[in-house]
Structure 1
Amino acid sequence: MAASYISVPRDLTKVKSKVFFNLTKRQLICFSVAALIGVPSFFLIKSIAELNVAVMGMMVIMMPFFFFAMYEKNGQPLEVHLGHFIQQVFIRPKKRPYKTNNYYAALEREAAAEKEVERIVRTSMDEE
């Protein structure tokens, strides 16, 4: 009798629970949204264009939802990567100069402020 083995992944954090048709809840939601948007768009495009144009239009409309459902890199879904990309390219400044909090410069500023206060006090005392 031949022994049958079941492979068990070593890293259990990568195991995802399957809900229906061996798909995760995220995949089911994305595929459902793709179908709800893609199928009516197919019929709308088919009414004004040829069949092959309608099929290609439906595929173009549904493809982003498939990417959101299936793409995952380093344990992060596509929207996380897109968020990081948008922050890097559009939101954060291009040049980020290195700034230090120099303790000696802070002491010099404090000493200069104290001298200024003393000078103001002295001039106000001289005026009285």
Structure 2
Amino acid sequence: MEVKVPKEIRDYQESIFFGLSTRQFICSLLAVGVAVGLYFGLRPLIGSEEVGWMCILGAAPFAACGFFKYHGMTAEQAAWAWFKSEFLYPKKLVFKSDSLYFDAMKDAIAEGEKPPRKRKNHKPQPPTGKER
């Protein structure tokens, strides 16, 4: 007997119907309900081919919401995070340097001068007498 254990135990989802989780099952029912509603609502108004496409387009968002995951968030959580970041708490990010070197050299940079560099003294070493 073999029992499958997911690598990440937090990713485990209990299946209730046809291998679907509760969330996926409810969203699938909503998608079927929207498709049936659109079919019977639009059938007298437009042709059958157009009604079929309208049913697919109307049901697709509901079906996708059941299976959507982004960074561990469901579709509603991801939509709410996007809405908060774009509309409720928008901010303009501005870079401000806190470099002490830049603050010390600000005047020299404004004048267009290069900062002074340390020079290394390269004095030749006296012979040790061990060379042959």
Please classify the TM superposition score into its range, dividing by the shorter chain length: 0.5 to 0.7
Q: How many residues align?
A: 95
Structure 2 residues without counterparts, runs of 5 or longer: 96-132
CA contact (8 A) 1:18 1:25 kept: yes
Structure 1 residue aligned with 2:88: 91
**Cα-to-partner distance string for 1:20-79 (whole Å, 9 max, x where unaligned):** 111100011111112122202112212111111101111111111011101112221111
> Percent identity, aligned pairs only?
21
> Following superposition of structure 1 onto structure 2, how do residues 40-79 of structure 1 map, counting pairs within 5 Å?
40-79=37-76
TM-score, structure 2 as length reference: 0.64
TM-align CA RMSD: 2.0
> Following superposition of structure 1 onto structure 2, how do residues 1-128 of structure 1 map, counting pairs within 5 Å?
7-95=4-92
**Cα-to-partner distance string for 1:2-23 (whole Å, 9 max, x where unaligned):** xx96653221111100001111
In terms of fraction of residues, the more helix-rich structure is 1
SS in 2 for 1:95: coil
Q: CA deviation at 1:90?
A: 1.1
